[in-house]
Amino acid sequence: MESQIQNQSKKRPHIWAIGGGKGGVGKSVVSILLALGLAQHNQNTVLVDADLGAANLHTLMGIKSPNRNLNDLVSQKYDSIEDICVQTPISNLRLVCGASEILSYANPQFSQKSKIVQSIAHMKADHVIMDLGAGTSYNVLDFFLVADKPVVVLTPQPISIQNAYAFIRNAVYRKLSRMAHKHPSLQELVRMAMNPKNEDQIRTIANLHETIRNSHGEKAAERLMETVQKIRPILITNMAKEQRDGNAGRIIQVVSEKYLTVHCQGVAAIPYDPLVEKLIAQMLPIAALPKTSRALANAAAIAKKLIS
């Protein structure tokens, strides 16, 4: 699916994918805050609820009963993703609602995922932000890997830091596995390396690079490194209560470079805002946040930095 994006016109929208480890880190809230920040900077932005099977972005945006969603695109009820976009109360911000009512789409076929990706790449927008599902299923990782700006959301909690690193590691090996799918012996090496306790003691991407160079030659080894180095995640620590909490992303940055040879595009933090929690508890839209909100202000600053 990455090649489908790369082959599109330069005028295509910048695609963001908001992922992370397990649920509870606030991916949907961060997706909305970044989208609001982009909209504030007069960027034509579309939010896409790509949490197939558990869509709730429309609720957080204050839209109770959307009459169009991704099901309608995949089932060919509508020909274009533009036809299922819902205008939000926010200027420069539209929403594509998810498909939670048909559980089969929680595990779509490759052709269905490709159709969604192709449709997004043709959207008339400056930016498209995909709010991904929780975990590291192939569906989540495939959407994450097509993004120009792949964002990994975490919280300062140690378990969240571990989950975020595991997410990046799984994304790396998913991309390598797809790269090697036409070469069974090479793919078998990648699969073996995915197990951190493998018998050949391949513990890092550097180890895997050396093993492949010895078994398959320099060209195959260099292709592996080129594939890995195209993965450049953005790390956002959400709900940071203290200044030191912002260092959570730095930990992942260092470990990712050491063990995965992955270099991050950026590391940032969004402070804890009790008003966000209050709005969610009262089922009120996140867009109701005042401009004085620290979380909103930080997200807008992050968005501005990432597009400048």
Could you tell me which residues come within 8 angstroms of residue 218 by beta carbon, excluding any fewer than 6 positions away? none
- Helix axis angle, 110-121 to 138-145, nearest 10°: 30
Helices (H) and strands (E) in the chain, counts: 13, 8
24: region left, alpha or beta (phi > 0 left; psi from -120 to 50 alpha): left
Per-residue pLDDT reduced to its tens digit, 87-140: 999 999 999 998 765 545 556 677 778 888 999 999 999 999 999 988 899 989
User: Is 16:125 a contact under the CB 8 Å cutoff?
Assistant: no
Query: Which pLDDT does position 64 carry in this prediction?
Result: 82
Ordered by start, the domain boundaries in the chain are 2-154+273-307, 156-232+251-263
Query: Which pLDDT does position 108 carry in this prediction?
Result: 67
User: Is 240:158 a contact under the CB 8 Å cutoff?
Assistant: no
190 vs 205: CA distance, rounded Å = 10
What fold characterizes domain 2-154+273-307? Answer: Rossmann fold (3.40.50)
Is residue 192 exposed (0-12), middle (13-18) or buried (19+ Cβ within 10 Å)? middle
Per-residue pLDDT reduced to its tens digit, 221-271: 999 999 999 999 999 999 999 989 989 999 999 999 999 999 999 999 999
The residue-averaged pLDDT of 144-154 equals 97
The pLDDT of residue 80 is above 60? yes
